[in-house]
Homo-oligomer: A and B are copies of this chain.
Amino acid sequence: MTSGRATTAKRPAGDNPARMRDRNRAAPVDLAELPDRTGYVIPRARVWIFQDVIRAMAEHDIRPAQFSVMTVIGANPGVSQSAVSRALGIEHARLAVMLHLLEARGTMKRVNSRHDRRSNALHLTPAGKRLLGMLKAAVARHEERVIAKIGVDGKRELLRILSVFLQD
């Protein structure tokens, strides 16, 4: 009943360690309606994808949300904190902590805005731009691993279907 049986069945019977391990496993469990529920399937997929993207960025000590923030600042020099918060759906308090960390690392700087004295304009430093370039390359390699699992067409369809959730 388990997917591993086909392999172990070829081995001689008796005190085969692999077979013993296999026997200790319970029969596969019935997931009932769960595989038909987006509320189950999307979080499961997200765990795989997040773990892979976290690994991809780990050598640079950057988390996925920090990467998103750097990408938005890089593509919109002088953007305000509240615009980043809205665009990425990151709460203001959490974003403030992230910006503080990025600034302390020398990847981002705040410049007083001419147009609105209440808010700062955010810019990447030269070091931040170099780091973002390396992170984007790491993320592109991660996406290749996703494509290896779901295919180019699968990825295109997936992004098309889910694009509606980016507009909230």
Interfacial residues, chain A to chain B (CB-CB below 8 A): 25-26, 28-50, 52-53, 64, 68, 71-72, 74-76, 79-80, 82-84, 86-87, 89, 136, 139, 142-143, 146, 149-150, 154-155, 157-159, 161-166, 168
Contact = CB atoms under 8 A, between A and B. Distances in A.
B80 A26 contact: yes
B168 A31 contact: no
Given A74-B32, A79-B29, A39 B162 contact: no
B29 A43 contact: no
B161 A154 contact: yes
Interface centre among A38, A48, A83, A89 (most CB of B within 10 A): A38
B42 A46 contact: yes
Main SS of the interface on chain A? helix
A42 B162 contact: yes
Nearest to A64: B39
Which 4 pairs, one residue from A and one from B, show the smallest C-beta to C-beta distance? A32-B75, A45-B165, A26-B83, A39-B53
B87 A29 contact: yes
A159 B164 CA distance: 16
A42 B29 CA distance: 26
A64 B39 CA distance: 8
Given A44-B166, A45-B42, A31 B158 contact: no
